[in-house]
Amino acid sequence: SDEQSELGLSKEEVAKRVQNQLNIEYVERAFETIENSNKIEELSPGLGRLLVSHARSILTMKSVVQNLNDDLEKHLKMIKEKLIREHPIKSKIHRWIESKLFEERTNYIHQHEWDSHQLSIDQCKALGNQQAAYFIQRDFIFRKDHESILRRNLKSPIEPLKTIECSRSIWFPKNWIVERTYPLPTERIPTLFAKYTYISEEEESQRRLIDSDPDAKYYLQRKITYSTTTRYPFWRWKLFALRTYCWLSNAIYTFCLVIPFASPVSFRALLSLRPFRPDYKLNRDDLKLHEDPSSKTETFISRLVALWNHVRHSRQKFEQAPDRGFLGKNMQRIFNRFWNYVAKGFVGTVAICAIYPASCVLLSIGSFILGVLSPIWMPILTLLFHILQILIYDANSAGEYGRKFFCLINILITDFLLCGIIQPILVLIALILSPITSLLILIYALLHRFTGGLYDIIVFKLIIKRLARIPAHDTFLARRIAGPGLAAQYFYQVSSPEVLAALESLIEQKELNIYRLYIEEILMKPINEYRRFFNAAFEPFSAQIQITDSPSIYSRMNDVVNKHIRNLKTAIDKRNDLLQIHHGPQHDRIRLTDAGLTAVLIEGKQLVEKWYPKRILSYLNEDETEKFWNDYDLEENDWLGLASKLLQELFCRDFLTPLEQTDVCYSLQVDHITLSKYAHMIHSANLHDDLDAVTSVYLPE
């Protein structure tokens, strides 16, 4: 004690030092035993010294970290005392002092960031553990010099919230891009057409490319795609320019090239003698562009030829067919000739000659004019499209605050008008009116409380206390609202068999819960024994048992045990659902008569004495049985007390209080007529006495 007072140590610090010395002594003896163990030496020479060296390094690092944490706590304690001394009022604000301590903690940790490494290295070298000091030194160098650089280099680049793409068609097939997409890297190859003849060097180069990798994949790119992001300011103007360029290019391509020269209503379709195929597709066998059969386009002449070829084939088919028709072939021939030569041939020819050339000329010329004028109307159309997006539905929005519909209106009304103008004005008004309103409310509350209390004291002292008595019937001044025959407090009376049935259900539920715990303990026993064996054998080597996705004995054991536990839980929960008694507010009002309660306690005692020893307590050992009775605060084998506790748990705490005759008592809360109600009564001519409008509410004790 004298030494303690001389050193200035508290009892907790002395106890901590004693505990540390005991731990050190225990560890040293354990290390000595491991180093001198012949069995460990037989396993591998020098293994004991290696294990002790590794353990000493771990203990050294833990000791350093603990000392640094203690220093941090002492520093924070000093800072807190300083804050309380310098700021006696602010320091009573818990959030303020916590924020200051958090800032100081952050600064302290930043200043002593590498102290744990340096101290660990010095102590390991002092103990002669050069290997541990080397590894800690390597970790220190990596964390201090290389970790930040690697994190910065490996950090994922900042991605914009949204990337918007626009594409334009490549006008001429000779400029289409053919790429080999697999294997990587992507490589562009020459664009060749099957209908043209090329020099032998180009053909040979193409053939070598095909033979070099039969599994290679190729892609024909007909469009060029441009992209812009929402990362930088004014990205909408860049999108507007990009979209105008792409849409203008596509409009000129469609209206000036495709429709006038490659469509079914083009000049080429009007003047060409044979059908043509304006589209191409890539053939994987020779990597050349072949005409696409699906793009076959009929011309004016080919349509007439096809029409009269159809008429000729139809006539030949009719003449070659045997005469087995309904009217005979001579009569049918008249109808067949009329149908083929007149209805199909003549009318079809007239229709094609009259409509098709005019359609080709008008549509092609109109399309060409639109294409030529597209540099004028396309920017206007693009601008209108962007304006409609901002006003109605912003499909290209970056998703700020989830605004898609009426984005500009939301910004003007919500952000600018409501939040920017009206809200500050309301705040200023509230800043002035709130104290005034609060003061008026306070004055009114004090006056109301004082006058109301004074009125109640005067009426009670001068009138009620001296002259009032309990009325035998309702009068002008008072009405009976509670008492014999009028009480709002009531109970439900149940029969004894119903209570015993509910008690038996509760006992069975407790039996199921005890049984479930007992079976789960049996099921988990192999796993627990396996875990204890593993920990005893491998914990000195810092090994831990874990459940992995790979098949193992421990994983299979866990799967089987978990399956059995789930099946057990399902079966018991199903039975518990049948036995469950749903509690409601009415359970607190359930009572028995004196005779019924006595009978229930006697029968309940016999029921508990019959069930508990055989079905519940038999699963518990001696300590668990003693804890069971202590939890209920009962002596051992007090079956009557246990039955009483279960009945209170089943219904309510006051269930053991029998029903009695209701005493004379009154509980009254009256809402008297006020001045405003009196004025309304005069105005509505609905005249009545004061107590005719009084409402009463029973207040339970």
Q: Structure tokens of 595?
A: 């005779």
pLDDT of residue 154: 76
Alpha helix positions (H), 213-338: 235-252, 259-262, 267-271, 300-320, 329-337
Residue-level length of the chain: 701
User: Could you tell me whether strands 590-591 and 492-493 are parallel, antiparallel, or unpaired per DSSP bridges?
Assistant: parallel
Two tokens at 565? 């536990």
Six-digit token string for 567:
């099946």
The amino acid at residue 421 is I
- The torsion region of residue 288 among left (phi > 0), alpha (psi -120 to 50) and beta comes to beta
For residue 315, what are its two tokens? Answer: 């006539």
CA 113 to chain centre: 36
CA distances, 341 to each of 173, 301, 327, 333, 334 (Å): 42, 18, 20, 12, 11
CB atoms within 10 A of CB 228: 21
The number of C-alpha atoms within 13 Å of 51 and in the hemisphere containing its C-beta is: 22
Q: Which stretch of DSSP H or E encloses residue 590?
A: strand 590-591
Cα 156 to Cα 149, 151, 230, 409, 467: the distances in Å are 13, 9, 18, 36, 90
Give, to the nearest 10 degrees, the angle between helix 130-141 and helix 115-126: 160
Q: What are the residues facing 291 on neighbouring strands?
A: 280
What is the DSSP code (8-state) at residue 471?
Answer: -
Burial of 122 (0-12, 13-18, 19+ CB in 10 A): middle
Tally of CB atoms within 10 A around 320: 7
pLDDT at 542: 60
CA distances from 538 to 31, 36, 245, 553 (A): 17, 19, 71, 17
CA 39 to chain centre: 55
**3-class SS of residue 555:** helix
What tokens does 193 get?
Answer: 């057409």
609: left (phi > 0), else alpha (psi -120 to 50), else beta? alpha
pLDDT, residue 546, reads 60
Q: What helix, strand, coil percent values describe the chain, rounded to 5?
A: 70, 5, 25
pLDDT score of 249: 94
Q: Is the bond preceding 526 in cis, omega lying within 30 degrees of 0?
A: no
Q: Are 303 and 360 in contact (CB under 8 A)?
A: no
| Radius of gyration from C-alpha coordinates of the chain | 49
* Identity of residue 174: K
Do residues 650 and 507 lie in contact, with contact meaning Cβ atoms separated by under 8 Å? no
The separation between CA 474 and the C-alpha centre of its own chain, rounded to angstroms, equals 64
Rounded to whole angstroms, the Cα distance separating 33 from 21 reads 18
**Adjacent-strand bridge partners of 223:** 169
φ/ψ region of 686 (left if φ > 0, alpha if ψ in -120 to 50, else beta) reads beta
Type of residue at 50: L
User: Distance (Å, rounded) from C-alpha 433 to C-alpha 437?
Assistant: 6
d(CA 56, CA 54) in angstroms, rounded, equals: 5
Q: Which residues contact 503 (CB under 8 A, 6 or more apart)?
A: 604, 607, 643, 646, 647, 650
- Residues 579 and 631: their CA atoms lie apart, in Å, by 24
Weakly modelled stretches of the chain, pLDDT under 70: 1-9, 156-158, 160, 325-327, 397-403, 470, 472-477, 479-491, 538-552, 584-587, 660-701
* Long-range Cβ contacts of 550-556 (<8 Å, 24+ apart): 554/527, 554/530
Average model confidence (pLDDT) across the chain: 80
Q: Residue 673: how many CA atoms within 13 Å on its side-chain side? A: 16
Three-state SS sequence of 472-531: CCCCCCCCCCCCCCCCCCCCEECCHHHHHHHHHHHHHHHHHHHHHHHHHHHHHHHHHHHH
Taking a C-beta distance cutoff of 8 angstroms, is the pair 694, 479 a contact? yes
* Whole-number Cα distances in Å, 519 to 515, 566, 569, 578: 6, 12, 10, 21
CA distance 488 to 481: 9
Q: d(Cα 54, Cα 530) in Å, to the nearest integer?
A: 26
Question: Distance between CA atoms of 239 and 166, rounded to whole angstroms?
Answer: 9
The Cα–Cα gap between 689 and 674 comes to 13
